[in-house]
Amino acid sequence: MPRIGREQGLNLGLALALLAAPLVALALAEPFYITLATRIAILALAAVGLNLALGLGGMVSFGHAAYFGIGGYVAGIMAHHAFMGTPGPLGIPGTGQMLPIWAMAMVISGVVAAVIGALSLRTSGIFFIMITLAFAQMLYYFALSWPAYGGEDGLPIFRRNAFPGLNTMRPIQFFAVVYVALMLAIGVFAMLRESRFGAALMAARQNPARLAALGTAPFGVMLVGFAISGAITGLAGALMADLTRFVSPAMMAWTLSGELIVIILLGGTGRLFGPVAGAALLVGFEVVFGGMTEHWQLLLGIVLLLVVLFARGGLIGTLAGREGHG
């Protein structure tokens, strides 16, 4: 149901601001801010994935760093084998091309999310949170102790993976790739939300018993939602690996799972552009206050606590008011 309201205006403003910021930085020859905008866009993309599970399906996953890390490792491992000229795992040849890497990252992180989801969705509530966190921690320790791809030391990507027709080593061109991926993911999120599947997913959150009574088993709907969610976050991980040209177990650390939830809360749970607003707020907070004091995380904790206790609905909720989607 298309309607032009305050939220739509705000979304358009956010999309344009994220596009304009690096262009201004380019004009002023400040490449640091291009990289910063790229980081915001990648974190927003990861959070769009989580928003599908958390915002629409009500599945509070505290383990999405796992899919982020898997996407990152797919990019790192493929690039490593392409650079070394050695065959990759299972004899798959390495590649330095983003498009096949993205496909692999999304498929593998989606499949892992489906397996973890199938186990975790046997429970709900507090159990679900603890189990997703625990499985992510398992993959973290595996990455840490598996020696083939750097283990604790991580794996460098010597040459940023390529995109047909672009020079991804130029920060602005890489930003363009990331930006388009983000907007496509937001488009997919919007399409899913308006679809029959999205309606079923939201119903599974609000009233699983009624959904079951209508002839749709909540488990299957939620599992598919969770797998798609993991795949999108995995794509973000592959892009982050290319941004930093380095993957390490830190990409799977539990703190990142927490940060993704924080991004969604700051922007507004279930909102289309909530992840963009939230990622910009979080990264902006880090840059502004991290420059002033090394203890900026204390400040972040206090702000976060106040937001949870007193300002529910996030930035978009505060600016655009309540929305129709429950």
Partner 1 sequence: MTLALIIEQMLNGIQFGMVLFLMAAGLTLVFGVMGLINLAHGSLYMIGAFVCAAVAAWAGQFWLGLAAGMAAAAIAGALIEMTVLRRLYDRDHLDQVLATFALILIATEGTKMIFGPFPLYLGLPESLTGTVDLGLAPYSRYRLALIGFGVLVALGLWLVIGRTRLGIQIRAGEADRAMIAALGVNIRALYTIVFALGAGLAGLAGALVGAIQSVQVGMGEPVLILAFVVIVIGGIGSVRGALLGALLVGVIDTMGRFLLPRAFALILPADQAMGVGAALASMLIYVLMAMVLVLRPKGLFPAHA
DSSP assignment of 153-180: G-EE-SSPPB-TTS-TTSHHHHHHHHHH
Bridge partners (DSSP) listed for residue 247: 155
Of residues 61-80, those binding partner 1 (CB under 8 A): 62
The nearest distance, CB 139 to partner 1, in angstroms, is: 8
CB-based contact 210:203 (threshold 8 Å): yes
Give the residue, chosen from 68, 73, 102, 135, that forms a contact with partner 1 under the rule CB under 8 A: 135
CA distance 294 to 285: 13
Interface with partner 1, residue 141, by CB under 8 A: yes
Strand, coil or helix: what is 87?
A: strand
Nearer to partner 1, 70 or 235 (CB): 70
Interface with partner 1, residue 207, by CB under 8 A: no
- The secondary structure element, H or E, covering residue 247 is strand 246-247
Strand, coil or helix: what is 253?
A: coil
The nearest distance, CB 297 to partner 1, in angstroms, is: 5
Give the residue, chosen from 19, 144, 188, 287, that forms a contact with partner 1 under the rule CB under 8 A: 144
Nearer to partner 1, 15 or 130 (CB): 130
16-23 contacts, C-beta under 8 A, 24 or more apart: 18/179, 18/182, 18/276, 18/280, 19/179, 22/171, 22/172, 22/175, 23/172
DSSP assigned state of 246: E
Residue labelled with tokens 């760093």? 65
x/- letters, 23..62, toward partner 1 (CB under 8 A): -------------------------------x-----x-x
CA distance 215 to 297: 47
Task: Please identify, among the stretches 44-52, 211-219, 257-265, 277-285, the one whose residues bind partner 1 according to the rule CB under 8 A.
Answer: 257-265
The nearest distance, CB 84 to partner 1, in angstroms, is: 19
Name the site residues for partner 1 (rule: CB under 8 A). Answer: 54, 60, 62, 119-120, 122-123, 125-127, 129-131, 133-135, 137-138, 141-142, 144-148, 151, 254, 258, 261-262, 265, 269, 295, 297-298, 300-302, 304-305, 308-309, 312
